[in-house]
Chain A
Amino acid sequence: MSTPTSSAASSAASPPVSSAGGGIDSLELAVAAAGRALRAHAGGLELVEVIEGDVVVRFTGMCTGCAFKLMTMAATVEPLLMAIPGVRGVRALGGRADEEAMRRARRFLG
């Protein structure tokens, strides 16, 4: 499971993440931090690409087939990545959840 693009917490005024502004470095650090957190569950996270501030990640390890990815995305991955200036949305490769379900998860967990 993965999620649709999250834009709820993004700022429309934020510029896209760019290497010129050091955003990529910060983003990679944030993905690594999220990955470390997921290793407690024998999982992980990889950065796939960034397109105009929309970040695409891939769950790895045990996270790939975990039915709780929605919660992991809302509680751990999104908050860490959306805190990076210029990040407008986050989505993971693979399955996706209904946007309303993601909103609920963010409300309770994010």
Chain B
Amino acid sequence: MIDDIAVFDNVVHLHDMSDANLLTAAPGAHRSRELALMLGEALRPLHGDQTRFDAEISVATMGRMVFDDSPTDLAMAQVVPIWDWFADWWAPVRLQAAFRDAYPDRAFFCGGVDPSWKGLTPALEHLEWQVRELGAVSMKFYNGHTDGATWRCDDEQVAYPIYEKARELGITVLQFHKGFPFGLTPVEQTRPNDIQRAARDFPDMQFLIHHLGIPYFDETVNIAARWPNVHLVLSANLCFTPIQPRLVQKQLGRLLFEVGVDKLMWGSEAGLAGPPAPYLRAFMDLQIPDDLREGYGYPQLTHEDKRKILGGNFARLMGVDLPTAPLPAVVHPIAT
């Protein structure tokens, strides 16, 4: 907990950017990894953690980052099915599931599949296996790729069977990386506009857009304001708070004004972003300044808003009870 607020981190990734996992022959592989590593290094002075990022993030390292070094109560480890440059994907299934296994009272496993990896049928089989055998409680999608492999989230032939399979398995929270193009992915492949028709056609499912779709912020705000089942995860966005508070204040002010606080969620992006503690502290200290309130009509960011953003909203979507008192220290797995 931070102050009296329970923290449910929507997204951490146990990534594997080791040489062994890099598809060195794939066009752009080295450059894409380099870009991701540069992002991690840029944030390092903020948290000071010395974890090597050009490696596999171990279960114990992630446990230390979020549960020991940060006031995180619950965290969801999300698969990143970026297969373009990484053999076992950027954040492998096995690592995310292992994190949940290591901290069963504190961690959740979000699976991930991609129909452009080996085709739709394998993706459906993979999804079912992740839910039935590994206990995935949500699914994450990265539909933007290079060289014609991008698929649309509103494709009735490719995407809808995946949503139907998820629904059949009891998964109702679907998550989408939008904006923030990974590596050399063309930015337009990450545009969030294809969420709209899917949200319309699956009104019983919840669609979570990550990263505020930046640089497509305007579209993302409009989509989340209009569709009752579209929500926004401020994954990595709030990590800018200590560095560029004005940027975050403008974004948050507009989100509170147009979208509403009930649809906003915290996501840390640990481990590449390091331990979440400094971002959480900066967010707790954040306010919407008077000139933005006077000039744009943005409301003040209240303590209750922070409670909803840091955990309340995501817990509600997932049907999870948040702790009401600080949790005991976790016991870490023994490294093997």
Judge whether B225 and A93 touch: CB under 8 Å.
Answer: no
Residues 282-323 of chain B, each 1 if its beta carbon lies under 8 Å from chain A, else 0: 000000000001101111100000000000000000000000
Is A4 part of the binding interface, using a Cβ–Cβ cutoff of 8 Å?
A: yes
Judge whether B225 and A98 touch: CB under 8 Å.
Answer: no
Residues 85-110 of chain A, each 1 if its beta carbon lies under 8 Å from chain B, else 0: 00000000111111111100100000
Is A70 part of the binding interface, using a Cβ–Cβ cutoff of 8 Å?
A: yes
Beyond A1-B258, A2-B260, whether A97 also contacts B226 by CB under 8 A is: no
The complex places the Cα of A96 from the Cα of B262 at a distance, in Å, of: 11
Judge whether A93 and B300 touch: CB under 8 Å.
Answer: no
Is A67 part of the binding interface, using a Cβ–Cβ cutoff of 8 Å?
A: yes
Closest residue of chain A to B294 (Cβ to Cβ) is A100
Judge whether A100 and B258 touch: CB under 8 Å.
Answer: no
Is B259 part of the binding interface, using a Cβ–Cβ cutoff of 8 Å?
A: yes
Closest residue of chain A to B263 (Cβ to Cβ) is A94
Is A21 part of the binding interface, using a Cβ–Cβ cutoff of 8 Å?
A: no
Contacts of B297 in A (CB 8 A): 70, 97-98, 100-102, 105
Is B257 part of the binding interface, using a Cβ–Cβ cutoff of 8 Å?
A: yes
Beyond A64-B225, A100-B293, A101-B293, whether A94 also contacts B299 by CB under 8 A is: no
Chain B interfacial residues counted at CB < 8 A: 20
Judge whether A97 and B299 touch: CB under 8 Å.
Answer: yes
Residues 221-240 of chain B, each 1 if its beta carbon lies under 8 Å from chain A, else 0: 01101101000000000000
Minimum C-beta distance from A105 to chain B (A) = 8
Contacts of A95 in B (CB 8 A): 225, 255-261
Minimum C-beta distance from B24 to chain A (A) = 45
Minimum C-beta distance from B261 to chain A (A) = 8
Minimum C-beta distance from B35 to chain A (A) = 33
* Interface of A (DSSP majority class): loop
The complex places the Cα of A56 from the Cα of B309 at a distance, in Å, of: 22
Contacts of A101 in B (CB 8 A): 293-294, 296-297
Contacts of A67 in B (CB 8 A): 258
Residues 12-36 of chain B, each 1 if its beta carbon lies under 8 Å from chain A, else 0: 0000000000000000000000000
Beyond A98-B293, A98-B299, A100-B294, whether A64 also contacts B260 by CB under 8 A is: no
Judge whether B300 and A98 touch: CB under 8 Å.
Answer: yes
Minimum C-beta distance from A104 to chain B (A) = 8
Within 8 A of B (CB), among A1-29: 1-2, 4
In-complex Cβ contact of B299 among A4, A64, A93, A105 (8 A):
A4
Judge whether A1 and B257 touch: CB under 8 Å.
Answer: yes
User: In the complex, given contacts A1-B225, A65-B222, what are 14 additional A-B residue pairs having Cβ atoms less than 8 angstroms apart?
Assistant: A64-B225, A65-B223, A65-B225, A94-B258, A94-B259, A94-B260, A96-B261, A96-B299, A97-B297, A98-B294, A98-B297, A98-B300, A101-B297, A102-B297
Residue numbers of B with Cβ under 8 A of A are 222-223, 225-226, 228, 255-262, 293-294, 296-300
Residue numbers of A with Cβ under 8 A of B are 1-2, 4, 64-65, 67, 70, 93-102, 105
**8 closest pairs, A vs B, by CB?**
A101-B297, A65-B226, A94-B260, A65-B225, A98-B293, A95-B260, A97-B297, A95-B258
